[in-house]
Amino acid sequence: MSRGASRLGLLAMIWLAVMVAATVVGQHSLQWAGVFDASSPDYVIFWHIRLPRVLLALAAGGALAASGLAFQTLFRNPLAEPYTLGVASGAALGAVTAIELGAGATVLGLTVVGTGSFIGAGAVSLLILGLAARRRFTTGTLLLAGIALSLTCSALILFVQYRADFTESFRMVRWMMGGVAVVGYREVIWLAPWVIGGWLLLLSLRWDLNLLLTGEEVAASRGVDLSRVRWIVLGSVSAMVGALVAVVGPIGFVGLIVPHVLRRWLGHDHLILLPACMLGGGAFLALCDLVGRLVIAPAELPVGVVTALLGGPFFLWLLLVKR
Amino acid sequence: MSLLRASALEWSVGDRRILGPLNLDLELGECLGVIGPNGAGKTTLLRLLAGLERPSAGEVTLEALELSQWESRARAQRIGYVPQLRPMEVPLTVRELLVSARFPYLSPRQFAPSERDFEAVASAAAEVGIESLLDRPLSQLSGGERQTAYVAAALAQASDLLLLDEPTTHLDAGNRRRVASLLLGLRRRQGHTLVVSTHDLRFAGRLCDRILALRGGVVVECGAPDVVLVPEVLESLFEAPFRLWEGGDEILPVLELEGDGQ
């Protein structure tokens, strides 16, 4: 327990270091005097371009990792991730439809594309929750239903893309690579309550999630209310992922890999893992975004490309080295 | 006093009735054995008694209150269950398994198990003699050790009633003996109320006050071991020939194999 807590402290320091580094480092080198001088361009770059972008990456990455962790435990499946039940495909369908219909304005603090993806994610989530409410639906069946829903949305996305013109089609592909490039705090403020609320709900289930590691049958016999746990996990993950996909797009890999890496390092206690995922996932995504900003400067690599390019080989190495 | 009561209990899948109708009264401190061929409904009966499944008809009451009316944690403080089939890969150590069994006593606001929980874990581990295994991962234990660990976890749960589904199945002779001794010891020392389903007839006869023989979901016979464990009942139960075998001061029904008595 104490080892877990001290490692969590170390992770918090890494998180803080990444936040500072990702805000300070960039294509444009900052002058410290300028950062605190409101009339200097460095002030705008630091406070209004880099910091909100880093904060968005920290929040989105953390939420993705925590969601992935909760799904992997709930479904007892190492391949489960935040998008397993089709939330991302629903969001993508909403987004490409909004792009196809031609959109530039903003609704409720989100771009129309963001609103479209939020509606898509919400619709898929409600469908999944509706299926989960059926008494005879086991967790395994739910997983399959999610995959079926996801594939259906993907087919519809291809249909919309096929009908789109060249520019729209490019925008759609670009949206699906994900990105945290924002100006100002609007997106961060929009995302924060979803992420904090969803994460706290998951944290309230830490004992239940620990017990689910022993299997549903044993967990239920120890007093875990399986349907309640399922509802809360599905609901909070859908809310978090739906909200974040609307602003950063479907960034892959973070939700799948970060929980695995942290479990290897910290063990299986969700009281430690849930904060660890928030910190580790956030730091990983912010770091990937930093790499994406620097590697082909002055152009930027979409963060979704970097997460998989960095994370894939790293995870493979981890599998080969340990145990 | 009756602790658990099943009245007109039935379990069906679609139109097919798997179990029942069945009436059963379980007294405090009693040990009930459940025997019967594969698919007789033993596991279904145990799961219904544990409150893991709602009956299709009839009811199970714990101290006169229907099981589904119990809040799940409160129910788990009274009824423990050791299933036969468990996931192969449980990424916990024995200690973590035992601590997690204290779930019914943990409040959602609590950030660590209390002193009382750790005491319960320590005494459960001592009772089954697995103190030396506490920090070993479950995945590294032998089948017998793992079974013992799950029994210890159920003891850490500190319920009045313990339901065990085929606790000795798939174990070799040495481990079977170990688990059987463990349960016999529990009976003698602590007076737990137990329901044990098993294919080990000798073990059932030694452990149980009463044996329920199930076939096709229906009770064939229910009574003291010397009433149920006789060749006539067993032959109709398993559709296989049995004969009495005398060894020392014990007379046991044993399965006849082809070529016996030649």
Q: pLDDT tens digits for B98-114? A: 999 999 998 878 888 89
Nearest-Cα residue of chain A relative to residue B108: A204
pLDDT of residue A109: 59
| pLDDT for B122 | 94
Q: CB distance from B96 to chain A under 8 Å? A: yes
Residues of chain A with Cβ-Cβ distance to B73 below 8 Å are 223
Q: Establish, for the pair of chains A and B, how many residue pairs have beta carbons separated by less than 8 Å.
A: 68
Interface mutation vs chain A, best among B13, B86, B103, B165, most A CBs within 10 Å: B103
Mean pLDDT calculated for residue range B236-248: 86
Q: By mean pLDDT, which of A80-84, B4-8, B23-27 is the weakest? A: A80-84
Residues of A in contact with B76 (CB under 8 A): 221-223
Is B118 at the interface with chain A, CB within 8 A?
no
Q: How confident is the model at residue A107 (pLDDT cuts 50, 70, 90)?
A: low
What single letter denotes the amino acid at residue A305? V
Q: Do B75 and A1 touch (CB under 8 A)?
A: no
Query: What number of CA atoms fall less than 13 Å from residue B237's CA on the CB side?
Result: 27
pLDDT in tens, A119-158: 888 888 888 888 877 766 777 888 888 889 999 999 999 9
Q: With helix as H, strand as E and coil as C, how does B14-78 read?
A: CCEEEEEEEEEEEECCCEEEEECCCCCCHHHHHHHHCCCCCCCEEEEEECCEEHHHCCHHHHHHH
Residue in chain B lying closest to A2 (CA): B112
Per-residue pLDDT reduced to its tens digit, A202-214: 999 999 999 999 9
Domains of chain B: 2-229 (3.40.50.300), 230-262 (no CATH)
Q: What is the mean predicted confidence (pLDDT) over A4-9? A: 89
Are A218 and B83 a contacting pair at CB < 8 A?
yes
Query: How many angstroms separate the CA of residue A206 from the nearest CA in chain B?
Result: 8
Taking an 8 Å cut-off on Cβ atoms, the answer to whether A213 and B92 are in contact is yes
Q: What's residue A110's pLDDT?
A: 67
Q: What value does the mean pLDDT take over residues A306-311?
A: 86
**Do residue A222 and residue B96 have CB atoms under 8 angstroms apart?**
no
What pLDDT, in 10s, does the model give residues B60-70? Answer: 999 889 999 99
Q: How many residues can be counted in chain B?
A: 262
- Per-residue pLDDT, averaged over B26-33, amounts to 92
Residues of A in contact with B85 (CB under 8 A): 217
Structure-token match 């194999």, residue found: B257
Distance to chain B for A252, nearest Cα, Å: 26
**Which residue of chain A has the CA closest to B163?**
A221
Nearest to A207 among B50, B72, B106 (CB): B106
Confidence of residue B194 (pLDDT cuts 50, 70, 90): very high
Looking at residue A103, its pLDDT comes to 60
Phi, psi dihedrals of residue B230, rounded to the nearest 5° = -125, 150
C-alpha–C-alpha distance, residues A272 and A7, integer Å = 9
Mean pLDDT rounded to a whole number for chain A = 87
The two three-digit tokens of residue A276, written as one number? 């660890």
The pLDDT confidence band at residue B38, using thresholds 50, 70 and 90, is: very high
Question: Residues of B with CB below 8 A from A225's CB?
Answer: 72
Q: Which member of A204, A217, A268 has the closest CB to residue B92?
A: A268
Answer whether B97 touches A (CB < 8 Å).
yes
Helices (H), A101-185: 112-132, 139-163, 166-177
What does the pLDDT read at residue A223?
A: 93
- Rg over alpha carbons for chain B, rounded to the nearest Å, is 19
The partner residue sitting opposite A76, judged by closest CB among B52, B87, B106, is: B87
Choose the closest CB to A207 out of B72, B90, B103.
Answer: B103
Q: Which residues of chain A have a CB within 8 Å of the CB of B97?
A: 214
Average pLDDT of the segment spanning A36-40 = 83
The two tokens of residue A14 are 């890494």
CB-CB under 8 Å, B112 with A215: no
Determine contact, residues A215/B100, Cβ cutoff 8 Å: no
Nearest CA in chain A to B139: A214
